[in-house]
Chain A
């Protein structure tokens, strides 16, 4: 059983006794007055494919560069496989990095680029080039071994960069926006290619990305970053279904947000939203009556119907008017104007060929169960 299977299937982060492979402790990086990374603590386990997700300037790249040894932390500590990395320069770390720009050496052929790391280890040329040939096979670049980087396409360069970073069999591979420079179609193919390679080699990957789809597809776990702080760490499903804050739920996917005060706590929490009435949401611990909360509702959890659905316990129903319809083929996006003038975003999957689809200005009822709505306290 490979290590990769361990991480993706055994989910060591759920086991409080599991030993983390990478430990980031109270890490802070300041550039002058600007705090790029602010007191970040994070544990990553062997064989994980961890995604740091956030907008530009959120500190995700700075965090990655501190792991690689290109930036010196202002304070805090990084442990890789138990070893303290403080004061260890980049060339002595058990990590390798794949750069956003790929940073291929323009004066060297593909082969020489990939062999560079091995030759620096003092490997013989014969041994190095044998390993290079193997690696080029893994990334499907064998026929291009003698080409120079400028003679390659973007996708090919990306694979050379990956091969070069993997050849030393690092304990940890850092990838900075690995798919950022590729077009959409190539990116989708390459995502699965990356997962295949990661699982074949069992290397721990940390990927920095601003693309939530990429993070959702690739990651065993995602860390959502904003303003130098990790807002939430969790499996893609957790991040989407159980966001811990308005920021995270809004950052991942689209969401309808309602503000209100808690009326009742329990398995189903009742929240007074003012002019839209009392809504029922999935209860959670720690709520107190009268507490200010927000209700998050994903657009795809809402149903629309022309007739008012029969009242069932735990169901929220609101009347509205269809304001906008966006037909996407596999699904349709609706914007429904509610009684108080607010827009409700609704996404319906077009599973059946609907003979009589909802259209503009139709009066509809939007309904969703309490379990579809998550209570957020911050």
Chain B
């Protein structure tokens, strides 16, 4: 009975779609497209519009997009002042540069640490792989904040690391690790490492053993084989993993706020301060928009590089 009515419903829908000239494929694509439109494009446009407004003390704290003048004509109020302000004030430039630097260095370290781990897992016998992968994902089952706090426990003046080293007599005075860039690097690399390992693993596990044997057979030592065969073939995995680390790292707020010092300048913190401390929404929006382009630019570039490689 229900199957019958389902069937009728389905056929009815299909007929309506046919009349409207919509194909099933369009409908399937429409759902994610609609999702992206509502939850990405619309907020982005709102943000863009606020970034062109002026900050006022009101609710909401920015000027409206248009206003009727005394003559009754419609004036559109839009200004690029906020963007100009970002350029003029060295704070923002430094924050962007420092964010990019921290994200690049963290990504590089995540790659250096993640690649051997992913390689090791991919080369392990099959039953062991799933256990190792589980161990990689396991930290996600506890709260992110908790894990960052745990690192504070390690890095503190009286923390595990300092106590151990002092106890062993390696150092006389506690090392200053908390509230430094070093702690921020540790936090970011630790948090985002699985995002590096998983795509790399997915790539490396597909690597055909016969290719490595062929390289060896043709006279390549294991090291040469790695650099001429394994590494170039894992490039898509490296790109994917680096993206997944770089993008969240550049806008990271919690880690620099908890582990970083007062001079750890990251754009996520600047953004927070503008929105909540200064309540300057237009400048905060401009900061966000610029950051979006800073993130999008390298993705577009990598995409085009990859497309070109595939065309070869």
Contacts and interface: CB of A to CB of B under 8 A. Distances in A.
A90 to B, nearest CB: 4
Interface in A89-119: 89-92, 95-97, 99, 101, 103-107, 116-117
Contacts of A101: 208, 210
B248 interface: no
A91 B216 contact: yes
B233 A103 contact: no
Contacts of B233: 106-107
A126 B232 CA distance: 23
B251 to A, nearest CB: 33
A70 interface: yes
A89 B220 CA distance: 11
A120 interface: yes
A121 B219 contact: yes
A117 B213 contact: no
A101 B216 CA distance: 16
B262 to A, nearest CB: 48
B214 A97 contact: yes
A96 B217 contact: yes
A43 B188 CA distance: 62
Contacts of A335: none
B218 A89 contact: no
Contacts of A89: 216
B61 to A, nearest CB: 54
Contact of A120 (B210, B213, B218): B218
Contact of B216 (A90, A105, A107): A90
B217 A97 contact: yes
A68 B229 CA distance: 19
Contacts of B213: 68, 70, 90, 97, 99, 103
B210 A164 contact: no
Nearest to B225: A91
B232 A107 contact: yes
B232 A103 contact: no
A105 B219 contact: no
A91 B208 contact: no
A120 B229 contact: no
A168 interface: yes
Contacts of B258: none
Interface size bracket, B side: 10 to 19
Given A101-B210, A103-B208, A116 B215 contact: yes
Contact of B229 (A70, A95, A96, A105): A105
Contacts of B214: 97, 99, 103-105, 164
A164 B220 CA distance: 13
Contacts of B219: 91-92, 117, 120-121, 168
B221 interface: yes
A177 to B, nearest CB: 12
A103 B211 contact: yes
Contact of B218 (A70, A106, A116): A116
A241 to B, nearest CB: 37
B215 A68 contact: no
A164 B217 CA distance: 11
Interface in B226-279: 228-229, 232-233
A280 B211 CA distance: 56
A145 to B, nearest CB: 14
B126 interface: no
B91 interface: no
Contacts of B216: 69-70, 89-91
A91 B221 contact: yes
Contact of A164 (B218, B224, B229): B218
Contacts of B210: 99, 101, 103
Interface string A14-56: 0000000000000000000000000000000000000000000
B208 A117 contact: no
A11 interface: no
Given A105-B229, A107-B232, A96 B211 contact: no
Contacts of B229: 105
Determine which residue in A68, A92, A117 has the highest number of CB atoms from chain B within 10 A of its CB, and name it.
Answer: A117
A43 to B, nearest CB: 23
B217 A120 contact: no
A120 B218 CA distance: 7
B312 interface: yes
A364 to B, nearest CB: 53
B211 A91 contact: no
Contacts of A69: 216-217
B217 A91 contact: yes
* Top 5 A-B pairs, shortest CB-CB distance: A117-B218, A103-B210, A120-B219, A103-B214, A90-B216
Interface of B: 208, 210-211, 213-221, 224, 228-229, 232-233, 312
Interface of A: 68-70, 89-92, 95-97, 99, 101, 103-107, 116-117, 120-121, 148, 164-165, 168
21 contacts: A90-B213, A90-B216, A91-B217, A96-B217, A96-B218, A97-B214, A97-B217, A99-B210, A101-B208, A103-B208, A103-B210, A103-B213, A105-B229, A106-B233, A116-B215, A116-B218, A116-B220, A116-B228, A120-B224, A164-B218, A168-B219
